[in-house]
Amino acid sequence: MPITTDAAIAELLTGARTIAMVGASDRPDRPSHGVMAFLQGHGYRVIPVNPAISGQQLLGEHVRDSLGQLGVPIDIVDIFRRSDAVGPIVDEAVRVGAKAIWMQLGVVNPEAAARAEAAGLRVVMDRCPKIEIGRLGIAKPGRATMPSGDAAPPAP
């Protein structure tokens, strides 16, 4: 069953540090570009995956052709692709040992989600991490969230 509770989404986002973004775009007007920049500004390392721009730099990160080229542990695979393109991405995420699959707004693939969960990955569908971080008041790594939603100053 995909993750739907606020507590489970918050736990996933606060425990993650490295996100692979499949379908990242080099076009600043595209949602994936804005979400990638937001996540980077929020303290995550976001590695872009897009065969159309593989080898280029995007927001300071080298664009990879596939998840298999990452060479680092991945906490979340954030998918900016059509629902019918999710299956092979999930299968590759399982092969590389990712911990979770995150399907963006409008992206729903129950069959791929079931395969991911059967392999032990956590799954979020039809949500955006940028929206969820703001909605849930998730602080940047290393900063505590105050009850008012404001972040506490860093410890001395």
Per-residue pLDDT for 144 more than 70?
no
- Give the pLDDT confidence of 34-63 residue by residue, as tens digits: 999 999 999 999 999 999 999 999 999 999
Residue 54 domain-assigned?
Answer: yes
- Domains in the chain, number: 1
Buried b (16+ CB within 10 A) or exposed e, 40-74: eebebbbbbbbeebeeeebbebebbebbeebeeeb
Q: Which CATH number is 25's domain given?
A: 3.40.50.720
pLDDT tens per residue, range 103-138: 999 999 999 999 999 999 999 999 999 999 999 999
Answer yes or no: is 45 within a domain.
Answer: yes
Is residue 36 in some structural domain? yes
Let me know if residue 90 belongs to a domain.
yes
Give the structural domain span for 97: 6-136
Residue 1 belongs to a domain = no
Asked, for residue 141, whether it belongs to a domain, the answer is no
